[in-house]
Amino acid sequence: MPESNSLDTPAKGFEEVVTLVVKHRVKAGFEVPYEAWLRNIVAIAGQQEGHLGVDVVRGKNAGLDSYTCVLRFCSTEAMQRWLDSPQRLALVNEATPMLADGDQTEVNPVNEFWFAPQVDASAPPPRWKQAVVTLLVILPHTLLVPLIWGPVLRLNAFLSSYFVATFLITLTIVVSVVYLFMPMATRLFAPWLSSSTTPKETR
């Protein structure tokens, strides 16, 4: 089972979220220096403007240690600045001799990260499993968030207006789900989501 380490940093903005997925397979004998390199690049990435956090998933692929790093950014521009930065390019060049397949990157919207294939998995989980986990996260929010906001919204007519109340409730649900509960849920249900014994999905 892959080991997942959450290395999140406080969110700095909510206008847009994109994820940069970086996959590395480490050559035998380079595990220790790669771990040191990984800690260094994670710390440097965390200092970049627009960086929202990173998850590192460790596993095995064809007998070698594999790492899937999912970095979240507040915008495509912020992510691209990190991709093109001299710091990252120098660090990737430093790591290249340790990598069996080079530096593999892909870009996804934030919801794709929730169910991104883990390490050596060939495909995301079946959609029915994605739907079940999403329902388990969204349902409590739709039940509880309006109750929590209720006393505040009743303080004056402006807050209790349909548009303002709906906006505040929806914003709370989206931020809570995207930045906290969905990443937690996908890590919690990872063994079930990645199970190879799941039935084939029909379309």
Dist. CA 75–CA 7, nearest whole Å: 19
Please say whether the beta carbons of 182 and 188 come within 8 A.
Answer: no
First to last CA, the chain: 29
Query: Where along the chain do the CATH 3.30.70.100 domains lie?
Result: 3-114
Q: Per-residue confidence of the chain (203 residues) as pLDDT tens digits?
A: 444 444 443 344 444 678 888 999 999 999 999 999 999 999 999 999 989 888 888 888 888 999 988 888 888 899 999 999 999 999 999 999 999 999 999 886 555 555 555 544 445 667 788 888 888 988 898 899 999 999 988 888 888 888 888 888 888 988 888 778 887 887 788 778 766 544 444 44
Whats the size of the chain, residue-wise? 203
Cβ atoms of 53 and 70 closer than 8 Å: no
pTM for this predicted structure: 0.53
The CATH number of 3-114 is 3.30.70.100
